[in-house]
Every structure is written in structure tokens, then in C-alpha cells.
Structure 1
Amino acid sequence: EKGLIINLSSISSFYPLPFLAVYSASKAYVDWLSRALDYEYRSKGIVFQTLLPSYISTKPTSFTKPGYIIPDTCTFVNSALSTVGTARRTTGYWTHGLQWWWCEHLPENLWNLFSWMLLKMLDNGKLQFDKQEKKHS
């Protein structure tokens, strides 16, 4: 092989994501683009891999604590790198793979409902956190 390109998509590319439509659409684009380019450049020895993770504990998701379901960045990166050469499309982390399997078997209307409920809950938690910060300021 002459090259490897890893593109970061998201599990949110599986179905449209209410309240994050542009995000989920752009992640679907990254997935489809990587798959097409992998086919085009495979004969030249260039491999395209798409990572489709779920939540990872990062600064933007600081409301999450790392664990088995939501890995920290180091755990995720080490796991994802272990898939290089074995998978062209992967969630990169074992519990994210279980979530992907669940999504594959979930009707889109339930995905929309669960996504809506989760995002509203997260949004409410952030808003409450922001209000608490303002009170203490």
C-alpha cells in the first residue's frame, strides 16, 4: 500500500439527526466521499478509511465522563488505529460498534424520537449548567 487516508465521519450519519441536520448531513457526505474515493484509488494502493464513532469524551462533550460507552480520546484513538488495514468503515471502538448494530435495526422514526429526546436532554443540561454558572458569577 502506498497511502492511507482516514476520514472522520460520525454515527450520526446513519440517519438524519433532528436539531443537527447540517452536522449529520455533512458526516454522511464524508462517509460517502470516502467510500467512493476508496474505490477509485484502491488500484493505486491508496486506502481510505472512514471512522464513524459515537460520543467521545472531549472538550465539546465535557458533560460526559469517560467510560465503556464513551471513551476518552486516547482510548478511542488507540482502538481506531488498531482497525487500520482491517476495516475500511468502522466505528473505531467496540461499544460504538454495538451502537451501530443497534442503529441498523432501529426504524428511522424511532431513531428520530430517541435523537430528539437525547439532544433535548443534553441541551437542557447545558442550559441548566449555564444558569448555575451565571448565578455563581
Structure 2
Amino acid sequence: MKHKAETVRYSQLVMPQDANVVGTLFGGQMISWMDIAVSKAAHRILKNSPADAAVTRAIDATEFKEPVYVGEWVNFEAIVTNLGRSSIKVNIKAFAEGRHDERRLACVSEFTMVAVKQHDDGTYTKCLHGQILDS
């Protein structure tokens, strides 16, 4: 099935429990939220495919560009950039947004997801997804 590249959006509010020792968003929390947004993009690509889900295979070239503070929103934009036989490459950008300022680019990364199929015994294995990215 052919798919057009579509930007998937997801947002999170930074709460005190998300902060590190200097009061900014903990990098591990940022990556966790990015993983959720990327999973949403992969989920959409896998609709009407033989795959049951997609799992994270690799996180490449993550760059933290600006700090994000408690009380700010992080707005994620994920877009599928390439499809392999079982893999899905997704680029993601995270923008911080405070109450009184413009949004700013806080983090960028590239994820590789892999399509998986669930078996009767509950285990998952990699599978071919059969999807094509329409350029």
C-alpha cells in the first residue's frame, strides 16, 4: 500500500517530575516522548499491513539544541522518511513552547522502527510490512 509522507504531531507538558538536577527537562524523558511520537507515525504507516506493531530498533544522531523548562510544552513533529522491507525510518523534531515566547527547536533525532507480527504464543518477530512511501 502506498502512503504519502504525513507529519504526525504529539505534545507533552513538562512537569516538575520530568526535570533533571538543573531544573530543565531530563534528556531521557525527552527521548521517551520522542519514541512515543515516532511510534504513532509508524502505527499510521502500518495500517492495513500484515504487521501488528512497530518497535524501536535504533535511535540515531539525537541532538539536544535548547533546554526545555518546567511548565513549557514540548510539541513533537514526526515524519516517515524511508521504508525498508521491515524497517521504518522516522525523523523527529521537538519544539519547546513557553507562555510568553515563540516556539524554539529543542531536539532533533532519527529513529529506525521495525514492523513486528504477534504469534499465537504471544511472542513477536520481525515481519515484512509491504508498505511503500509515495514520493
In our comparison, the structure showing a higher alpha carbon Rg is 1
The answer to whether TM tops 0.5 is no
State the TM-score, normalizing by the size of structure 1.
Answer: 0.25
Using CA pairs under 8 Å that are at least 6 residues apart, name the structure with larger relative contact order, 1 or 2: 2
State the TM-score, normalizing by the size of structure 2.
Answer: 0.26
Structure that is richer in helix per residue: 1
